[in-house]
C-alpha cells in the first residue's frame, strides 16, 4: 500500500504534464509566475493548465514579492487553490493575501543555517502551510527551483503547528531517504524531474511520485 506522503510537482508548463502529475498520484501542481524563471507561465497559459487539472489536484500559484495587481490578474483568470509566496514577503503580507483572496497561503522559507530554521516560527502561526527549501544566495536570479538541497539534519525532529513541505534538490533517487530522515509528510520538486531547465520529463515525474510514496 503506498504511503500517504503528498507530492507537489512545481513548474509545470504543458497540459500533458498536469495530466501525468495527476495520474501519478501527486497532490499539488505548481505554476510559476516569475519572468526570470525558465518555468515562467503567463496568466493565459496557467488558465489552460488549470483547466487540464482534474478535481482533487490542488493548483498552486507561485509568486515572488507580487503586488496586488498581479495577484488580482492571476486570481481573476486562473482557478487556483493555493498561493505559494516564494519571496521575502513578511508575515503581515502573508496575512493580507490570505484575507484578500480567501485562499490558503504557503510561505516558502529558505534554509541554510540554524538561524534560518528559527525564522520559520515567524510564519508558522500565520501561513496555512510552509515550504522549507534550500536558501538561494543573496542576489541570485532564482530564489527557488535551483536543484540544490540543504542540510536535511537541520529539520530533523522539528515541529511546526501547520503542515510543511520539504523542497530543494529532491530527485527520484534521494526523496525516500529525505522523507525517512526528516519525517516530512509532503515533498516538492522541480529540477529533479526535468531533462533541462524548465523541461519536465514525464518518466521522472512518475518515478518521483512512486519513490516518495514507497
Residues that bind ligand LARABZUK (CB under 6 A): 10-11, 30, 32, 34, 37, 39, 62, 64, 86, 133, 142-147, 167-170, 188-192
CB nearer ligand LARABZUK, residue 39 or residue 213: 39
Alpha carbon 39 to chain centroid, angstroms:
13
Q: Is 67 a catalytic residue?
A: no
Output the smallest distance, CB 185 to ligand LARABZUK, in A: 17
The dihedral sign for the CA sequence 7, 8, 14, 18: positive
Q: Is 162 a catalytic residue?
A: no
Query: What is the DSSP secondary structure assignment for residue 140, as one 8-state letter?
Result: -
The CA-based angle 10-60-101, given to 5 degrees, is 155
Output the smallest distance, CB 65 to ligand LARABZUK, in A: 10
Minimal CB distance to ligand LARABZUK: which residue? 145
For the chain, the helix, strand and coil percentages under 3-state DSSP, each to the nearest 5: 35, 20, 40
Phi/psi class of residue 183: alpha, beta or left (left: φ > 0; alpha: ψ in -120 to 50)? Answer: left
Q: Which residue in 4, 81, 116, 133 is the catalytic one?
A: 133
CB nearer ligand LARABZUK, residue 22 or residue 109: 109
CB nearer ligand LARABZUK, residue 1 or residue 196: 196
Do 59 and 80 contact (CB within 8 A), yes or no? yes
CB nearer ligand LARABZUK, residue 37 or residue 186: 37
Which residues are annotated as catalytic? 10, 133
Amino acid at each position: 500500500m503506498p504511503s500517504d506522503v503528498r507530492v507537489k510537482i512545481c513548474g509545470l508548463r504543458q497540459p500533458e504534464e498536469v495530466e501525468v502529475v495527476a495520474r501519478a498520484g501527486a497532490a499539488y501542481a505548481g505554476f510559476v509566475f516569475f519572468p526570470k524563471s525558465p518555468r515562467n507561465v503567463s496568466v493565459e497559459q496557467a488558465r489552460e493548465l488549470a483547466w487540464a487539472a482534474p478535481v482533487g489536484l490542488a493548483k498552486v500559484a507561485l509568486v515572488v514579492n507580487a503586488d496586488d495587481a498581479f495577484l488580482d490578474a492571476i486570481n481573476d483568470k486562473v482557478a487556483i487553490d493555493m498561493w505559494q509566496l516564494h519571496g521575502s514577503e513578511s508575515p503581515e503580507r502573508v496575512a493580507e493575501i490570505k484575507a484578500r483572496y480567501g485562499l490558503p497561503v504557503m510561505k516558502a522559507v529558505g534554509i541554510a543555517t540554524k538561524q534560518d530554521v528559527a525564522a520559520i516560527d515567524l510564519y508558522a502561526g500565520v501561513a496555512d502551510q510552509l515550504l522549507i527549501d534550500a536558501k538561494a544566495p543573496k542576489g541570485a536570479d532564482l530564489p527557488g527551483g535551483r536543484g540544490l538541497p540543504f542540510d536535511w539534519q537541520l529539520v530533523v525532529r522539528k515541529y511546526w503547528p501547520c503542515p510543511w513541505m520539504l523542497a530543494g534538490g529532491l530527485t527520484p533517487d534521494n526523496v525516500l531517504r529525505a522523507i525517512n530522515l526528516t519525517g516530512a509528510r509532503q515533498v516538492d520538486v522541480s529540477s529533479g524531474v526535468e531533462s533541462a531547465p524548465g523541461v519536465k520529463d514525464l518518466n521522472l515525474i512518475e518515478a518521483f511520485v512512486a519513490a516518495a510514496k514507497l
